[in-house]
Amino acid sequence: MKRLRIAVLMGGPSTEREVSMASGKMVVEGLRPTGAFVIPVVVEDAQFALPARLDVAFIALHGTFGEDGQVQRLLEERGVAYTGSDAEASARAFDKDTAKECLKAAGIPTPAYTIHNGDSSTLVQIKLPVVVKPARQGSSVGISIVRSREDLLPACAKARVYDERIVIEQFIRGRELTVGILGNRELPVVEIRTPSGFFGYREKYTAGAAEEVVPAPLDSSVAVRAQRYARLAHERLGCRDFSRVDLILSDRGELFVLEVNTIPGLTQNSLLPKAAKAAGLSFSDLCVRMVEMALARRPLEVPA
């Protein structure tokens, strides 16, 4: 690590810029004790500059541009090794419609859903309660839980601010879980508890707004099943190195995969670092492992 030049990409043009800046700063602090030459790069748009003689770009960009395959494709074109999933898998996982179709095709349980493209007459057929969210956003941006008919249209309008395609998904009451994937390991299951029962943007990034229990207090068979579904979802979407897979355990004991996050948050309140800590990995260890996995394929990514 002492000879490496690592650029940590943070910021970006998405609605999650503030969270990305927090993740990036934490990664910089996590990597510096290793002796690597760590260079923070605040990204504004696709014309961002990279330092010379770079070994690895550590992507700490969340949301649009950072998590949807755009920055990955740019780095591939520049011949730069980078952390995390490739452009195709990133785009596939970020689009909730595409991702859910992949999960369904693989036999992985996921809540039933429909895509709403603006025809309000179709909304009368929707059975409540539902979760309404933009097809391509992260961090619960633009998401609503709808329990009454009069709230459905406003929820769609809220989601449409962020994407013209809207996912209207069956609401499943139960316990919110998440499983981190790191290389060939499934990390301990985390349970997320909130007073409102909704793990939204504020709960994700406000200290004390949610309680994360790790390892989750589950029967061992349920925990193993959650980890198995997480691994399957990670692999079927073509992800590599690491991800965080969100699930829900229904009141009837059924597990459903909600989505796969290819660039999980790396802030002090984030779930993947907490799961890694429960598995015996410090935050610095986690960041180093991410860099090592990117380095392992570097010769394949640098054009001849």
- CA 280 vs CA 114, 179, 227: distances in Å: 41, 15, 17
Look up 205 and say whether it is catalytic: yes
DSSP at 240: -
Write down the pTM of the prediction.
0.91
Residue 249 lies in domain: 95-109+173-280
Please give the pLDDT value at position 197. Answer: 62
β-pairing, 56-59 with 255-261? unpaired
Active-site annotation holder among 92, 240, 259, 269: 259
Kindly report the CATH number assigned to the domain that includes residue 234: 3.30.470.20
Active-site annotation holder among 205, 241, 243, 289: 205
Residues 186 and 105 in one domain: yes
Look up 246 and say whether it is catalytic: yes
Look up 162 and say whether it is catalytic: no
Please give the pLDDT value at position 83. Answer: 98
Active-site annotation holder among 240, 241, 265, 270: 265
Active-site annotation holder among 20, 261, 269, 270: 261
Cα 101 from Cα 62, distance rounded (Å): 23
Residues 99 and 235 in one domain: yes
Look up 144 and say whether it is catalytic: no
Please give the pLDDT value at position 113. Answer: 95
Query: Two tokens at 12?
Result: 């970006």
Please give the pLDDT value at position 140. Answer: 75
Q: Coil, strand, or helix at residue 295?
A: helix
Residues 29 and 59 in one domain: yes
What element of type H or E holds 50? none
Kindly report the CATH number assigned to the domain that includes residue 157: 3.30.1490.20
Kindly report the CATH number assigned to the domain that includes residue 25: 3.40.50.20
Please give the pLDDT value at position 302. Answer: 42
Contact in structure between 269 and 205 (CB atoms under 8 Å):
yes
Block means of pLDDT (10 residues each) for the chain, 304 residues, are 93 94 97 96 96 96 95 96 98 96 97 87 88 85 92 93 93 97 97 73 60 96 98 98 98 97 92 97 97 82 42
Residues 101 and 231 in one domain: yes
